[in-house]
């Protein structure tokens, strides 16, 4: 089976699982109903093709998942402390980061993880330059700003290790013409 067939099977399995969870119990009827509903959704509402240009590294993905959970917990504690501590509210700001992530899919996943970390919200993305603008809850000290940039760099490094190592990278042949416009940018 090729990669596309595996992806379709995975999507169908995911939709079936969601169907079963929505009904609240596992039965043959729910399984068959989930397969039927999932297949109907996939047939009538197909997702656009997304280029998959690297290779998934399961150990790196596991590290990425663990680090994301750690950052979410750490940030939640910091946000809770900022909410109950005496004193004025923290100084907020928008910080800019340029990411070295090549794939649009992996860039989207990275932005999703950044948005899941309490106290941060990606407010703009310059896809051509791979620049993200992130609203950060606390930028009152150099340490807080450095901590944010460190978090982004570690996440970026793990996303690259997990999905787009140079040794596995094979650019898709069906990209839109973004590649030609990127070369013209300063």
| Average pLDDT for 29-58 | 86
CA distance 32 to 161: 38
Q: Per-residue pLDDT for 70 more than 70?
A: yes
**The model scores a pTM over 0.75:** no
Q: Per-residue pLDDT for 40 more than 80?
A: yes
| Average pLDDT for 28-35 | 95
| Domain locations in the chain as residue ranges | 3-44, 58-163
DSSP conformation letters of 104-168: HHHHHHHHHHHHHSTTEEEEEEETTTTEEEEEES--SSHHHHHHHHHHHHHHHHHHHHHH--TTT
List the end-to-end C-alpha distance of the chain, in Å, as a whole number.
42
The Cβ of residue 32 has, within 10 Å, a number of other Cβ atoms equal to 12
The Cβ of residue 26 has, within 10 Å, a number of other Cβ atoms equal to 12
109-150 tens-digit pLDDT: 999 999 988 889 999 999 899 999 999 998 999 999 999 999
pLDDT band at 87 (very low <50, low <70, confident <90, very high): confident
């Amino acid at each position: 089976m090729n990669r596309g067939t595996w992806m379709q099977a995975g999507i169908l399995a995911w939709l079936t699982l969601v169907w079963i969870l929505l009904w609240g119990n596992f039965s043959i009827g729910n399984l068959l109903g989930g397969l039927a509903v999932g297949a109907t959704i996939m047939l009538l509402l197909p997702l656009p093709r997304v280029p998959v240009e690297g290779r998934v590294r399961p150990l790196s993905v596991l590290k990425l998942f663990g680090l994301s959970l750690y950052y979410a917990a750490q940030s939640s504690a910091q946000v809770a402390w900022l909410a109950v501590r005496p004193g004025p509210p923290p100084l907020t700001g928008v910080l800019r980061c340029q990411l070295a992530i090549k794939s649009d899919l992996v860039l989207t996943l990275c932005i999703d993880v950044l948005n899941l970390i309490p106290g941060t919200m990606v407010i703009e993305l310059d896809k051509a330059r791979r620049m993200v603008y992130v609203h950060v809850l606390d930028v009152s000290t150099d340490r807080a700003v450095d901590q944010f940039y460190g978090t982004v760099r570690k996440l970026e490094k793990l996303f690259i290790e997990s999905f787009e190592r140079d040794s596995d990278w094979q650019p898709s042949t069906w990209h839109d013409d973004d590649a030609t416009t990127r070369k013209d940018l300063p």
